[in-house]
Amino acid sequence: MKYLTELVVILGFSLLGEVVKLLIPLPVPAGIYGLLLLFLALVFGIVNLGQVAHTGHYMIEIMIVMFIAPSVGLLKTWSILSEVLIPYCVVVLITTVGVMVVTGLLAQWLIRRREQR
């Protein structure tokens, strides 16, 4: 019953993300809004981490299963993708390195800020 309750909380925030997506006309996926709302609820104490922790850990453990369908879709469209494979790989490489650099710099800044306190 605990897992079901946690899943309902997570799905509730996903639903709120869908509502926000309807209200705010930005090109942001509804799932991102839902994650942001859940994050804010956790930060401000509206939701306790214990209310979503077990189901969240389980969802992370089975995340790889969620990539099966998109992988099959990529295989089905290989003839189209093979023409633009090199540019896509370059873009993925550049953005991955960019995200890693920004994340590292942000982590260092947060560590320094914490040490100053």
Here the contacts of 19-22 (C-beta below 8 Å, separation 24 or greater) are: none
69-98 per-position pLDDT tens digit:
888 888 888 888 888 989 999 999 999 999
Give the domain ranges of the chain.
Answer: 1-61, 70-117
Residue 1 carries which side chain, given as an amino acid letter? M
Q: What is the pTM of this model?
A: 0.63
Highest mean pLDDT among 24-28, 49-53, 76-80, 96-100: 96-100
pLDDT for the residue 82 = 85
Strands, E, within the chain: which ranges? none
Determine the 3-state secondary structure of 100 from DSSP: helix
pLDDT for the residue 81 = 84
Pairwise CA distance, residues 72 & 112, whole Å: 44
Q: 55, 7 in Cβ contact below 8 A?
A: yes
33-43 per-position pLDDT tens digit:
999 999 999 99
